[in-house]
Structure 1
């Protein structure tokens, strides 16, 4: 039986090959996931995949380069995610989020942080965009709130809070919920959140309490979990916020995502 160290060495060899391949082909990319979180927080977590973020316009070039380097490739979800793998170790090629909200754009690259990952000089996803994309991951089997709390503990005083608010836009309640939990998890750090931000959140909550809901038939739970709110989408029920005019995903995209993820969740 192989030791954890040997398995980790094999995984890192695969990831190093991927990084070297992409550096050679010149496709701009950012490292995210566990390696980016480690760059910001110092917390090390074993992972069986390497998350690479890329502009949508560059995603095919990046996947083609990995394919030529000997990786098997697949567009797992056409609106969000491609996979390249060798054995049990994979590289996730990400250009959006599963809910369609967090598109990788030029600002990701403009604010990216230089780092060293597995001996390669790379840029990692900006802390603000990492928080933005992780904030909507609230599945029964996966919740990224712990990553966000650790990221805030390390970077709360350096965050561009105005850019964070612009990123979340009408979904500012999601950001506020994580900031409130941060103050609960780390009471000694709660005052490091800018006072103007907290006052702005309270102002918005107060205004909400004084007005009727503008969209009473929508359920935004599907932006947080692809599975736990499907029961609310029964005929005659709520409208799915992932679809136009509120969201950007088509019925075909959400139906395919539900089928694939349900199969994986139910697999033995």
Structure 2
């Protein structure tokens, strides 16, 4: 009987909700999309969170223009943030959207009044864990030959950055597990970009180095690793790309099997 209770407990999914937290984003004058600094903050936040539920999004404005206009603008700001969260599969089903306009206790610094605040809770889940299966990447490594290049499928980045998209985090963890399981495996990490003929900001190098550093930080000996940038010299789709899917495909990381 005790064993049956234990099995049932493992199979149950239990949600443990933590205390409410908040994210503040700021906007330029009369704009309904976050400014450059807050956009970067939003991207970093999306990469740092795991499982959350958004309870409320509030929009605010400075006192310039009419009360009616500011009310409408504050709602647009809140709904813009809502659309970003929906696009990244954040749980916003029960989120309350409020536009305060200029009717709140305003700061004397007007730029601090042009904002949106996201209220959210972390959700921890205890779920049944299936026995591990051999991943696609693991099989590719097993079947590969020395010198062969393998694309890390779906390891995608935000444009003009070395920040991995939220949905791509399992891919880099899979690479780490493959490296740990194959102690003789040595690889060279290749970074690629989209859109630009010249990689003036060395984004491709930063992407390759990001994967390199991630592996080292998680216990992989640096003697088993190397990294290299190809910029936009070897695109999957010709430049300029026609769709966001093509841009996602071109800003990628590949690995070359050095020895195994």
TM-score by length of 1: 0.22
Ranked by relative contact order (alpha carbons within 8 Å, sequence separation 6 or more), the top structure is 2
| Larger strand share, 1 or 2 | 2
TM-score by length of 2: 0.22
| Larger helix share, 1 or 2 | 1
